[in-house]
A and B are shown apart, each in its own frame.
Chain A
Amino acid sequence: DRHLSRCDTKINVIVHFCDRKDEDDGTEIGEGGDEWMHGKTLIKPPDQLDLTEAELKEEFTRILTANNPHAPQNIVRYSFKERSYKPISSVDQLAVHFFLEGNLLHRDSDEARRQKAKQGLPDEKATVALECDVSFFPQLQAAGGEEAGDVEEGGGEDGAHSVDSKTGKKEQKLTNQFNFSERASQTLNNPLRERGCQTEPPPRASFSATANQWEIYDVYLEEMQKQEKNKEKAKAVPKKEDDKVIYVLAKVAKIIERMVNQNTFDDIAQDFRYFEDASDEFREQEGTLLPLWKFQYDQAKRLSVTALCWNQSYKDLFAVGLGSYDFTKQGRGMLVFYSLKNSTYPEYNYPTTSGILCLDIHPDRPYLVAVGFYDGCVAVYNLKEERPEPVYKSSSKSGKHTDPVWQVRWQKDDMDNHQNFFSVSSDGRVVSWTLVKSELVFTDIIKLSLVGAVSEGPEGVPPPTMACGTSFDFHKQINYLFLVGTEEGKIHKCSKAYSSQFLETYDAHNMAVDAVKWNQFHPKVFISCSSDWTVKIWDHTIRTPVFIFDLNAAVGDVAWSPYSSTVFAAVTADGKVHVFDLGINKYEAICQQPVVAKKKTKLTHIEFNPVYPIIIVGDDRGYVTSLKLSPNLRSKPKEKKGQELPRGPEVEIAKMEKLLSLLREPENSKA
């Protein structure tokens, strides 16, 4: 019964517990206990399995294995040998439930020994001492006898102590357990004081620079210059150095001025460089002149251009001599240099007391300029020097001319390497001036005497014996040969060697010969022009002119072109420029063009630029106009297909020669 009741109660308990599960937490144990005591009917949980008796009695075997239930059972690995996945035969069944890292060391391990060593020897020593004591005691006992034992003991202890001192470790103080007291005392601490001092910081400046290739180069250059200066040991008085900004700006200001001018006259600059008149193809032989820059200087307004000269080394620089041809209007003059790069203001200008009539720039030394004046003086200016006076000037003592000097020309340096030049004047003398140190030394080369029938002057006044030279020109190749044109209209061929005789005289013109010029290529040909409206071309072996051109107005100047032996240009008093090309047209100009605005302006001089296809023309109002030659005026002989065109002076000479031979033939035939 009890059994059953117990079983019942057990079951009841179970049931009740299930009840509690179903209900919420409200029930107290006390109550539960009461319920249990009373006993209740069986209640099944709703999800309990319903099993049959047979099934209930079925036995299930449960095996305990050592396998790890969480270990995977089917790990596969890729086998490269068989090229497929293969299952691993055995899987690790170890399951770690708990892991704790501890800090215990085995006493004999390395780490432990190291620690022991750090902590000190007491542990070891204690053991050693004990060992010693222990070791000695057995010996004592073995030796026998108390005294011996005592001594040995002492020895043993000593031994122990000696071990102590040997190892030298800190030993713990052995304090007396009964009446040990510690005492301490403190000494006076000296008060600490801080002391500092500060100096003035050195002056600092922040510095930055770049180290470039060119900076290094600059420094080297400076060093070199310094060294050179030291070598020279400048004795000269140190120049007054003006710190004014202005001085430094001279160069940059010049550059800027040129740039500004270039901008303003941009179209002219472009024309100068690139414009070629296309319509020349349609005009058969004629050409045109394109006006480019116009040069004028305020202070030279009432003067006329009396001389023009291009600089041979600086092809854009030219010199203008200003003065007056009018006998009554003589006054001051001016020497002005212009550059094509700046047409508004001259590069150099020198005012002179007397009008300039002629000038020449030295071909080798472009800074030397020889000038002839109306009052008969000649002067040499050095452009490199700052002062406005000439470096050399002839005076009445040193043989200056008594009449205006009409032409000057530089010659090659003489044997002493002195520069020298020639001048011709209305007083009939051709004089050679040599620059010796600081003086001009003169030599009369030739005196022009009147040739031909001399009419006696009125009342028996002896006729003037001297002719008035108005122009001259030296032969390009033959050094001693030169031509002189006179006021009487004659041209004399002279030699530097013969001072009294002419080699030849040509009856050239009816009025004064204004210009006479050798051809730049052909050694025999020269050209002359005069106020009698004509321009004549000569062969110096023939006494009569080869060509004569009538230009309908007084011809001021004539010039050969530097690029062709058959091209020349002339300017007339009616403001026109005439350009001739004998190779194209033997009788007429291929270009006749007025170049100045006002018709009353007389053109006085003309010059071809040695390199560029431009000409400059001076007029009697002080203006200089530059003009570009159109292609027709610069024509070269046509190329024959397949043949290379020969260039050079030989060609030009041949061209001219051909022309001349054409003219000579009829003469020969006549003769």
Chain B
Amino acid sequence: MCAEVEETLKRIQTHKGVIGTIVVNAEGIPIRTTLDNSTTVQYAGLLHQLTMKARSTVRDIDPQNDLTFLRIRSKKHEIMVAPDKEYMLIVIQNPSE
């Protein structure tokens, strides 16, 4: 089970166009990353807040609902966030590569 998840993460990291992956815990502190420290901290902090806000929005509208994932498409690349109860997985991909 553990190996499978590790494998999945590895596959994501080596997937075409993926620039980096970050695992963030519930307080917004990055636990695992493939990027450099400063970038990681920046991404983690900003996206954590955004995800909390997005989740709060979804749940305010319907408390039985919950946020599954969040995609931010920008000119240069796409940031994808999949939140969980305790952790959050952030992947930055360049889809046009």
Which A residues lie at the B interface, using CB under 8 A? 210, 212-214, 216-218, 242, 244-257, 259-261, 263-264, 266, 344-345, 386
Contacts and interface: CB of A to CB of B under 8 A. Distances in A.
A250 B69 contact: no
Given A260-B80, A263-B78, A253 B93 contact: no
A217 B91 CA distance: 30
B9 to A, nearest CB: 6
Q: Tell me what chain A mostly uses at the interface: helix, strand, loop, or mixed.
A: helix
Given A257-B8, A259-B80, A252 B56 contact: no
B60 interface: yes
A263 B87 CA distance: 23
3 closest Cβ contacts across the A-B interface?
A214-B59, A217-B63, A214-B63
B87 A249 contact: yes
Contacts of B46: none
B9 A252 contact: no
Q: Tell me what chain B mostly uses at the interface: helix, strand, loop, or mixed.
A: mixed
Interface in B76-93: 78, 80, 82-89, 91, 93
A260 B78 CA distance: 10
Nearest to B7: A345
Nearest to A210: B56
B89 A249 contact: yes
B9 A249 contact: yes
B84 A248 contact: yes
A212 B56 contact: yes
A261 B32 CA distance: 21
B36 interface: no
A263 B92 CA distance: 11
A542 B16 CA distance: 57
A250 B2 CA distance: 8
Contact of B23 (A242, A249, A260): A249
Contacts of B74: none
Interface residues of B, number: 39
Given A259-B71, A263-B93, A245 B84 contact: no
Contacts of B63: 213-214, 216-218
B18 to A, nearest CB: 6
A337 to B, nearest CB: 14
Given A217-B63, A245-B23, A256 B84 contact: no
Contacts of B60: 212-214
Nearest to A266: B95
A248 B68 CA distance: 15
Given A255-B69, A257-B12, A260-B15, A250 B5 contact: yes
Contacts of A251: 84
B26 to A, nearest CB: 10
A249 B93 contact: no
A245 B64 CA distance: 26
A246 B23 CA distance: 10
Given A250-B5, A253-B89, A344-B15, 10 more contacts: A213-B63, A246-B5, A247-B5, A248-B85, A248-B86, A255-B82, A256-B12, A256-B91, A263-B95, A266-B95
Interface string B46-73: 0000000000100110011000110100
B59 A212 contact: yes
Contacts of A250: 1, 4-5, 8
A210 B59 CA distance: 13
A218 B5 CA distance: 27
B82 A256 contact: yes
A249 B15 contact: no
Contacts of B85: 248
A657 B76 CA distance: 58
Given A245-B87, A252-B84, A255-B82, A260 B12 contact: yes
